[in-house]
Amino acid sequence: MPSIFSRIVAGELPVYKVAEDEHHLAFLDITPLVEGHTLVIPKREVDYIFDLPPAELAALHLFAQRVAAGVRAAVPCKRVGVAVIGLEVPHAHIHLIPMNKVADMNFANPKIKVDERRMNELAAAIGAQVPTVVAGTPEMPTDPRDTKGGRETVEASEPDAFQAPIPDAASAADDATLGPLREMTKGLTYMSESEAPLTAVSFAAPAGGLTDAALAKLAGVPVGTPVERQELTYFLRNHTADNGVTGSAEMANRFKQLQMFLKQELSGTQVYRFGKGPQVPVLVLGEGEGGQLQGFKTVLTET
């Protein structure tokens, strides 16, 4: 009989997913010791963790290292404790537990109750902080809390209604890491009278500030195009509703995760709309590390 974790991997049981790759899954423990208590499992069902082949065991711990960085960044704690018990579920798993004192790791402690809304918030917040593995960059950040350094992302090369400026060589090298923001916008579309993809972008902050003229240059529209500013929560309101504008709870949760990331990890995030229909270019930008502007672009159809 498949383990409960194998049923989760198969999609038969719901879960508060934090992170996933081809071979591993991380999700919140539904009977946690503390808020943010996360489980990391291999998707392949193996009862005893040390029965995993060396390469798979190493890969599991590397995945757990990334998830732990997300837990530590999203949940106030001094350390993220690690435990492997192996008696509760016959499927290898690692406990990642935010801790401020040794007693936080005591499995004899009463389990706490966390409501569904809070669990969704925690899963999204932790997931937004998990560093992305980048080909050719095997090392973790020097400080696991510092996950923003890999988040300077550039727009995809696919054509759309407007083209942002090509970054200079220095910023292109920095942005080649393609961090979590690129992952979070991947496959998302903004629904208006038509559909348009969300594409992650990163720009150096204009020397004179975000004037209408500077914004127009970033958006690749003529200087003098009217700029309308809008609050992010309002802009995404239809997409973050319970089932979203598409009727998909999964897509709604992805938009909620993106919104939380933009509001928590970037400062002063703002929506900028350029001109009037039928095609309205949109930039969503906030300030990240070193004054770098990050966010996404899309296009509205308004006839």
Q: Report yes or no: 271 and 284 within 8 Å, Cβ to Cβ.
A: yes
List the structure tokens of 184.
């979070």
CA atoms of 62 and 191, how far apart (whole Å)? 37
Task: Calculate the alpha carbon distances from 36 to 74, 76, 92 in Å.
Answer: 8, 9, 20
CB distance 65 to 130 below 8 Å: no
The H or E element containing residue 293 is strand 293-301
* Catalytic-residue membership of 93: yes
What number of other Cβ atoms are within 10 A of residue 229's Cβ? 11
Closest residue by Cα to residue 41 from 63, 72, 70, 68: 63
Determine which one of 37, 93, 95, 239 is catalytic.
93
Q: Which residues pair with 286 in a beta bridge?
A: 294
First to last CA, the chain: 56
CA distances, 105 to each of 86, 92, 265 (Å): 15, 19, 28
DSSP label of 154 = -
Residue 48, classed as helix, strand or coil, is coil
Question: Are 299 and 279 a contacting pair, CB within 8 Å?
Answer: yes
Residue 201, C-beta contacts closer than 8 angstroms, at least 6 positions apart: 153, 154, 155, 164, 283, 285, 294, 295, 296, 297
Active site residues: 93
